[in-house]
A and B are shown apart, each in its own frame.
Chain A
Amino acid sequence: MSGFRSLRRPIGRRTVLQGGASLALATAFAGSSRIAEAAGGKVIIGAFADGGLTPFKEKIIPLAKTQGFDIQFLEDEYGVTLEKWFADAKNAAGQYDLYLLDDPWVPQFGAADLLEDLGAGGIDAGDSDWIKSLIDMGWWPPQEGPRVMGFESAKPKLICVPFVGDLQTLTYRNDVYTKGAPATWDELLEMGKAGVAAGKIKYPIVFRGVSGNPIVTSWYPIFLSFGGEFFDDKWKVAFNSAAGKAAADFFVGPLKQNAPPGVVEFDSDQEGAAILGGDAGAIIQYSGNALKADDPAQSKVVGKLDFGVVPKKEKAIAQIGIFIAGVPKSAPNKANAIAFLKWYVSAATQAKLAEAGSIPVKRTAFKVPKPGNRLIPVALKQLDSGALPRPRTPDWAKVEELLGIELNKALQAGSGGGAALDVAAQKVTEYLTQMGYYK
């Protein structure tokens, strides 16, 4: 007690009150200066690290600065961004003005009602220049296709706008596939084997085999090209149809046999190394690694990689996987973020984006005289040939996980793709039943 007594004199009540008041005032001033600082053209953009955003970072951010936007670009590793941004938006933390989401996350943010209505903010979704399949992904609930329970009669809002029109295309070695992009899977494997025999490559194909999102992303274009359908219009699982099983058997069998032996553990860094390092003859990939094809600092096969539409079985359909921008309701510079988006999706900026080498989201931009990358016209060709998004459900991550685990097990075994789909279908059905999809 004597210790407290000795403390009392130097720190009197008045001193404590004065100190507290000073602290409060200092905090208040600090807060107000932050608000003052936030006004103007500041836009805090959150993104996950991906090569597909390199042209935006290098060319468009400096361009935006000339328009008065003060862009703060915060990058994170893909695996942590969803949780980080969801927590930011849900807790109204106000750390970001704009999220560059992976498109399957739109339903999660939409169902939780965390993003601004950009249509109400003045972004014109009716502009005929939009690539329809891309702008359609910005609505929640979706304007077309099945809707999840609780949103059947909700009025769709435009909560996101396409940012980079990324989708899967084929990258292939032009010294192996000398007649151009292989049109079918059989052709891809046959010519690839000839390339291996000629010592030009080590493996005809490379893909991602890691459980979860990576393996499902690799399998999806094969599944689509075999004519598979994931869900019916009542959310009943349909991926274990005959077409789906044939696609899975082909994936874990012939495709694996023609891929690097460790493909089960391959993620995007390893598949990128295999194609850019000259080991693999072909790959289906997003733009992130494709954009590196002509960069001698990143590719050992400069001039030997060309792009084409994905091979077909029944059809040549790729998976769309765009960067899509949403403004959180808690954004500190909301008006700036929306103004930035309006500028970004304008025809002039989209043309600059294409010239910078990124895949635009407006049709006219694909036609610029000098696109910054050879991939851009191929991307439009793929969009027109056939490209589909993943099912628009907030539960996609779990569905993908359940399917990915079974596909990965079959890939390890090198057989049993069809049986794996049956097991996955049962697990997905059980999960969706628990979540109330079939009531």
Chain B
Amino acid sequence: MRSARRARLQGAGFDLALPYLLLAPSVLIVLAILIYPLWDGLRASTQFWRYGKPLNDIGLDNYLALWSDPQFINSLWVTVRFVTLSVAIETILGLALALFCLREFRGIRLLRTVLIVPMVITPVVVAIVFRLIYASDAGMLTAFSEALGGTPVQILGQPLRAFLALVALDVWEWTPLMFLILLAGLQSLPSEPFEAARVDGAGPWRTFVDHTLPMLRPVLAIAIVLRAIDAFGTFDQVFVLTRGGPGEATRLLSIYGYDTAFKFQQTGFAAAMFVTMGLIMLALALAAVRLLRRAGPS
């Protein structure tokens, strides 16, 4: 009688605990690979590191030092310019392509597939290909120029051209993402307002400005935010193409942070830089969400 009661109680307890026990490994894994590194990064950002070890706690000194470091300021400025320019171009091109591909005509499926190819190529490979295009000694552009009797084309050795070349690479690779998101958005728009506009005699431009754009705004905002966050962390292409040069013309925050952490071994300072970068991206995302809410359903 007593043993039966005990077994019943144990059974009930086990039933209660089992879900938590089964969830525990996943929770532990999330804590280990997501929360702990975040916590460790935050902790490192408040320490002074030398020779791969934390020497002492310095509070927010690393964060303050960032704003008096001209290299950080320069990298932040380069990053902001890069993100703004590349995302703006990608949005315009992506929207134009999406509007074009919205129509059904012969070969459209193939065209849509071809248009997303750049996006699926590994960024490092894209950067190598573009390096082979831009290189002044044996690059494709130089070969064309020399074939036409011109001189070698200088791109990666000049600050503005190198920066624009990097933007061009990013636009080539990531316009397809904008295209894909915006095409999906356009395809999901209701047809009635467009039919009504047509009946009212609205032209294509009027329809686009008064109907397409307002209704597409939520999707557009999400696409821009996603792409901006991604562009903010661009690393591979710059690492292969210019390593941040010439001078500091293409040194994005990600490259400066990487150099600071691994080449210069200033772990605490680099951690502060990455936390700041994370906060900037978070602020961007929150601002976009707020904008989105303010825009409301049109």
Contact = CB atoms under 8 A, between A and B. Distances in A.
Tell me whether A and B are bound partners.
yes
Interface of A: 1, 4-5, 7-8, 13, 79, 82-83, 86, 90, 108, 111-114, 209-212, 260-266, 270, 273-274, 394-395, 397-398, 401, 405, 408-409, 412, 434-435
Interface in B2-43: 14-15, 18-19, 22
A211 B51 contact: no
Given A265-B157, A270-B137, A395-B264, A112 B19 contact: no
Contacts of A405: 245, 247-248
Contacts of B19: 1, 4
Interface stretch (B148-156, B180-188, B191-199): B148-156
Contacts of B261: 83
Contact of A397 (B18, B243, B263): B263
Interface of A is mostly: helix
Nearest to A267: B243
B121 to A, nearest CB: 20
Given A83-B262, A395-B264, A401-B259, A261 B152 contact: yes
A153 B157 CA distance: 46
A265 B135 contact: yes
Contacts of A264: 154, 156-158, 246
B51 A412 contact: no
Contacts of B206: none
Nearest to B74: A405
Interface in B28-85: 50-53, 65
26 contacts: A4-B18, A4-B19, A7-B22, A13-B14, A79-B243, A83-B261, A86-B52, A86-B262, A112-B51, A112-B53, A114-B52, A209-B157, A210-B243, A210-B245, A211-B246, A211-B248, A261-B151, A261-B152, A262-B136, A265-B135, A265-B246, A270-B135, A394-B51, A401-B263, A408-B245, A412-B247
Given A82-B262, A211-B246, A408-B245, A274 B51 contact: no
Most buried by A among B154, B155, B162, B239: B154
B247 A409 contact: yes
B247 A262 contact: no
A4 B17 CA distance: 11
Contact of A86 (B14, B151, B265): B265
B247 A408 contact: yes
A82 B239 CA distance: 16
A401 B264 contact: yes
Q: What range describes how many residues of B lie at the interface? A: 35 or more
A112 B137 contact: no
A211 B247 CA distance: 6
Contacts of B264: 395, 397-398, 401
Nearest to A412: B246
A433 to B, nearest CB: 13
A265 B259 contact: no
Nearest to B256: A401
B114 to A, nearest CB: 32
Contacts, number: 108
A408 B265 contact: no
B159 interface: yes
Contacts of A395: 264
Contact of A265 (B14, B22, B51, B136): B136
B18 A412 contact: no
Contact of A83 (B244, B248, B263): B263
B246 A266 contact: no
B138 interface: yes
Contacts of B266: 398
Residue from A113, A264, A394, A409 whose CB has the most chain B CB atoms within 10 Å: A264
B200 to A, nearest CB: 55
A8 B18 contact: yes
A434 B152 CA distance: 43
B51 A111 contact: yes
Given A1-B19, A262-B152, A112 B245 contact: no
Contact of B52 (A79, A112, A209, A408): A112
What 4 pairs across the A-B complex have the smallest Cβ distances? A262-B136, A264-B157, A83-B262, A211-B245
Contacts of A412: 157-159, 246-247
Contacts of A401: 259, 263-264
A298 to B, nearest CB: 15
Contact of B244 (A1, A113, A211, A273): A211
A4 B263 contact: no
Contacts of A1: 15, 19
B51 to A, nearest CB: 4
Given A209-B157, A401-B259, A262 B137 contact: yes
A265 B243 CA distance: 10
Contacts of B244: 211
Contacts of A111: 50-51
Contact of B245 (A113, A212, A273, A435): A212
A260 B153 CA distance: 12
